[in-house]
Amino acid sequence: MAKGRVSIVVERCKACGFCVEFCPSHVLALSSAFNSKGYHPPHVVHPEKCSGCDLCGMYCPDFAICATKVDPAKSKADPAKEGDK
Ligand code: SF4
Ligand code: SF4
């Protein structure tokens, strides 16, 4: 079960790839899709591996990505609440 959740602000991304390179769990990959500036933003390819360490957020020079820790007990108890945060 995932212990972290990644949020990506696609339009801020300049596709430097730091988040992909520095993620210790290989959660991310650059997408084949473009944002409006013509860059390929990252997307989550292995959500179950994310620890919520937020290294991706710390390395991103454009504040385009961040991660939060998820409480597994809470998300299991009421998965419908996940979208409310
Ligand atoms: S929070 Fe950590 S494990 Fe999750 S995607 Fe970011 S760098 Fe990878
Ligand atoms: S580190 Fe930031 S700007 Fe670079 S690819 Fe990742 S989200 Fe995009």
Q: Whose CA is nearest to atom 4 of ligand 2?
A: 16
Instruction: Give the pLDDT confidence of 22-34 residue by residue, as tens digits.
Output: 999 999 999 999 9
Q: Compute, in angstroms, the gap from residue 55 CA to the centroid of ligand 1.
A: 6
Q: Given a cut of 90, is residue 73 above it in pLDDT?
A: no
Mean pLDDT, to the nearest integer, of 41-55? 97
pLDDT at 47: 96
Name beta bridge partners: 42: 30
The CA distance from 36 to 3, in Å, is 31
- The answer, yes or no, to whether any atom of ligand 2 lies below 6 A from the CB of 28, is no
Q: What are the strands, taking DSSP E only, across 1-85?
A: 4-8, 28-30, 42-44, 65-69
Q: Are 15 and 41 in contact (CB under 8 A)?
A: yes
Looking at the CA of 18, which ligand is closest? 2
Q: Please provide the CATH number assigned to the domain covering 4-78.
A: 3.30.70.20
19: nearest Cα among 35, 34, 7, 11: 7
Q: Given a cut of 60, is residue 81 above it in pLDDT?
A: no
Residue 53 CB coordination number (10 Å): 16
Q: Whose CA is nearest to atom 8 of ligand 1?
A: 23
Model pTM score = 0.86
- The answer, yes or no, to whether any atom of ligand 2 lies below 6 A from the CB of 18, is yes
Domain positions in the chain are 4-78
